[in-house]
Amino acid sequence: MLTRAQTDCYQENGFLVLKQLLPETEIEMLRQELNWMINSAPIHLGASENRYNQVVEHPEDYAFTVLDPDSGHQVINRISNPLARSEVILRTYGHPKLLQAVTSLYGSDFVPFAESIVIKMPENGAPFEWHQDGNFKTGVQPVRGVNFGIYLYPSTQDNGCLHVIPKSHRWGQANLKSMAEKHGPRLPNSIPVPVAAGDVIVHDRNLIHGSFTNTSPDLRITVYFGYHRRDTVVDVFTPEHIRQREQVIWLAIQHRAKSNLVTEEEDGLPMVADEQPFSLGQFQSEMSHFSLEEKAKILRAPPLAI
Ligand SMILES: O=C(O)CCC(=O)C(=O)O
């Protein structure tokens, strides 16, 4: 659970850094998984094969930045649908500390919004323009969700760390085009948020944020998990769609419990036998077991994008 000081800080500033929320062993497993996912990515945007001539399922999950239109040189910048692609990431999704932190902010009635992985490759990491998340098209609601960004490596100004304008989550929809025209790329009152590996940056989706290019030799990877308060999405999406997204939490907790039993017996992997699984409260009894097909469908249900 977060402390009162932490939740107050989040409400006040629109963001919060949770230092060393996840243990190094878990972060190392994610690093190894991402290393493999990046290595086995499609060779370029639209390709269905990777560098080992293997077919990549759902190659559209991978996004690239075109560095040189003439040579077609591209660099990977994002992987979507990570819970469907990786059991290691699904296991982390069920981490009780993460889900308890969400509960501290939104209460127990929250639903998953979307997940993705931002990758800034050394020397060539793409910038993210200043933005507020989502499109505001469903009506500007004061609460439009929260993103948790788990950092697998240290993030610094050199490797393109996140920048934010504290307190801007209270401004409603900002005119970022005119702000950029007036002030250039460094917006007034914006600050960098450098973090260590294992830290988590929690930010309100209304907060103005962005990041600059990675010009350093260091990789930056952030695993994003986003959540909504249920009452903000019930009138926007069908109950079936919301239900599917909610079932992701149950799948992750189940998967974590199973894989913790296995990892306990193996050398060198984390011992988490004493971990208390996150409790789904009133929904736990309603959740059933799913076939592989049902599981695949749940893990690929579209984001609850507002
Ligand atoms: O992690 C970053 O640098 C920014 C990512 C972001 O804001 C987004 O994916 O919308």
Distance 303 CA to ligand 1 centre (A): 16
Q: What does the block give as tokens for 72? A: 């077609």
Total of domains in the chain: 1
The upper half-sphere exposure of residue 184, i.e. CA atoms within 13 Å in the direction of its Cβ, equals 1
Kindly state whether residue 28 falls inside one of the protein's structural domains. Answer: yes
Kindly state whether residue 278 falls inside one of the protein's structural domains. Answer: yes
- Residue 211, strand partner residues: 128, 162
List strands edge to edge, sheet with 209-211: 128-131, 209-211, 162-164, 191-192
CA distances from 298 to 217, 240, 290, 292 (A): 38, 11, 9, 10
Q: What does the block give as tokens for 231? A: 């009452």
The set of protein residues with a Cβ atom below 6 angstroms from ligand 1 is 118, 128, 133, 162, 209, 211, 222
Place of tokens 């939104």: 106
Kindly state whether residue 306 falls inside one of the protein's structural domains. Answer: no
Distance 210 CA to ligand 1 centre (A): 6
Look up the domain containing 244 and give its range. Answer: 4-299
The amino acid at residue 63 is A
Kindly state whether residue 305 falls inside one of the protein's structural domains. Answer: no
Q: Which of 213, 155, 162 is nearest to 191 (CA)?
A: 162
Distance 202 CA to ligand 1 centre (A): 12
**Tens digit of each residue's pLDDT, the chain (306 residues):** 899 999 999 999 999 999 999 999 999 999 999 999 999 999 999 899 999 999 999 999 999 999 888 888 899 999 999 999 999 999 999 999 999 999 999 999 999 999 999 999 999 899 999 999 988 877 767 889 999 999 999 999 999 999 999 999 999 999 999 999 999 999 999 999 999 999 999 999 999 999 999 999 999 999 999 999 999 999 999 999 999 999 999 999 999 988 876 655 555 555 555 688 888 775 565 667 889 999 999 999 999 988
Q: What are phi and psi of 2, to 5 degrees?
A: -80, 155
Distance CA 126, CA 212 (A): 7
Residue 38: strand, helix, or coil: helix
Kindly state whether residue 18 falls inside one of the protein's structural domains. Answer: yes
Cβ atoms < 10 Å from Cβ of 63: 16
Distance CA 49, CA 207 (A): 38
Q: Determine the residue of 224, 225, 306 to mutate for testing ligand 1's pocket, defined as the one with the most ligand atoms within 8 A of the Cβ atom.
A: 224
**Radius of gyration of the chain, Cα coordinates, nearest whole angstrom:** 19
Kindly state whether residue 304 falls inside one of the protein's structural domains. Answer: no
Place of tokens 């793409």: 126
Distance 158 CA to ligand 1 centre (A): 16
Ligand 1 atom at minimum distance from 116 CA: 9
Q: Which of 227, 190, 194, 223 is nearest to 209 (CA)?
A: 190
Distance 99 CA to ligand 1 centre (A): 21
Q: Determine the residue of 147, 209, 225 to mutate for testing ligand 1's pocket, defined as the one with the most ligand atoms within 8 A of the Cβ atom.
A: 209
Q: What does the block give as tokens for 230? A: 């249920």
Ligand 1 atom at minimum distance from 149 CA: 1
Distance 162 CA to ligand 1 centre (A): 7
Model pLDDT, residue 138? 76
CA distances from 118 to 125, 160, 171 (A): 10, 11, 26
First to last CA, the chain: 27
CATH classification of the domain holding 93: 2.60.120.620
Distance CA 85, CA 34 (A): 11
Q: Left (φ > 0), alpha (ψ -120 to 50) or beta: where does 145 sit?
A: left
Instruction: Please tell me the pTM assigned to this model.
Output: 0.94
Distance 292 CA to ligand 1 centre (A): 32
Ligand 1 atom at minimum distance from 161 CA: 3
Kindly state whether residue 66 falls inside one of the protein's structural domains. Answer: yes
